[in-house]
C-alpha cells in the first residue's frame, strides 16, 4: 500500500506544479484589442495621448478641430465710425510630437497678411480651448497674446511692443468661423 501512496502523492504534486505554471504564465493582454491613434500608447488597456490629442483612442486632434478661417469686425482707434472686416486663419502645423502647435495669420481687409505667428493650444474645455501666442520678434515688434478658440468662434488679445517704450494691445472679439 505504501508505493500506492507515493504514486498518488507524486501525481497530485505533478498536477499542482503544472497548475501553478499554467496559471502564472498566462497573463491577460490588456492592450490586445485597443488601438491608439495619433502616436498614442496603450498602457494597462488605456490609451495615453500626446499633448493636443484626446479621446478614448486618441482620435481627436485639437489643432484639426479648430483649424479654419474666422472673420470679424476690427475697430480702428482713429476711426470710430467705421469697422472693417479682418480675418484670422488658424492652420495646423506639421509637428508630430506636439499636436497643440498651430500657425495663426492675421489678414487685413484686402486679404493681405499683416502678421503670421505661432500659437500653442493650452487648455481644452467645454467651450473651446485657450491658446497663447508664442513670443515672436518680427520687424522690431515683439508679439505676444492669448485668446480662445471654439469650433464656431475665436477671440484674440494681441500685444505689440515696439521696443521704444510704446506698447499696445489689439482686441479681436467674436470672430465667427466661416
pLDDT tens-digit map of 105-126: 999 989 999 999 999 998 777 7
Mean pLDDT of 41-69: 92
C-beta of residue 169 within 8 angstroms of C-beta of residue 155: no
Considering only 13-17, 87-91, 96-100, 131-135, which range has the smallest mean pLDDT?
13-17
Q: What's the whole-number mean pLDDT along residues 73-89?
A: 72
Is the pLDDT at 81 greater than 60? The verdict is: no
Kindly give, in sequence order, each residue whose CB lies less than 8 Å from that of residue 136, ignoring residues fewer than 6 positions away.
117, 118, 142, 143, 144
Please give the helix or strand (H or E) that residue 102 lies within, else none: strand 101-107
Mean pLDDT (whole number) for 25-30:
71
Query: Is the pLDDT confidence value at 77 over 60?
Result: no
Rg (CA), the chain: 29
Length of the chain: 178
* Measured distance CA(75)–CA(109) in Å, rounded: 12
d(CA 158, CA 124): 20
CA atoms within 13 A on the CB side of 82: 7
Percent of the chain with pLDDT over 70: 80
What whole-number distance in Å separates Cα of residue 82 and Cα of residue 75? 7
**What's the whole-model pTM score?**
0.75
Share of the chain above pLDDT 90, in %: 58
In sequence order, the 6+-apart residues with CB closer than 8 A to the CB of 17 are none
Which grid coordinates belong to 114? 499683416
Amino acid at each position: 500500500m505504501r508505493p500506492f501512496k507515493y504514486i498518488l502523492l507524486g501525481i497530485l504534486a505533478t498536477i499542482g506544479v503544472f497548475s501553478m505554471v499554467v496559471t502564472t504564465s498566462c497573463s491577460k493582454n490588456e492592450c490586445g484589442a485597443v488601438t491608439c491613434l495619433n502616436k498614442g500608447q496603450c498602457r494597462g488597456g488605456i490609451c495615453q495621448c500626446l499633448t493636443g490629442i484626446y479621446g478614448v483612442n486618441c482620435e481627436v486632434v485639437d489643432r484639426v478641430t479648430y483649424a479654419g478661417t474666422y472673420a470679424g469686425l476690427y475697430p480702428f482707434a482713429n476711426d470710430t465710425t467705421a469697422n472693417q472686416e479682418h480675418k484670422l486663419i488658424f492652420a495646423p502645423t506639421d509637428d508630430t510630437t506636439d499636436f497643440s502647435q498651430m500657425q495663426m495669420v492675421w489678414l487685413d481687409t484686402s486679404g493681405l497678411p499683416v502678421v503670421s505667428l505661432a500659437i500653442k493650444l493650452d487648455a481644452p474645455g467645454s467651450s473651446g480651448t485657450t491658446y497663447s501666442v508664442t513670443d515672436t520678434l518680427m520687424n522690431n515688434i515683439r508679439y505676444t497674446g492669448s485668446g480662445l478658440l471654439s469650433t464656431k468662434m475665436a477671440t484674440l488679445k494681441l500685444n505689440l511692443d515696439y521696443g521704444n517704450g510704446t506698447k499696445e494691445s489689439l482686441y479681436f472679439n467674436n470672430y465667427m468661423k466661416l
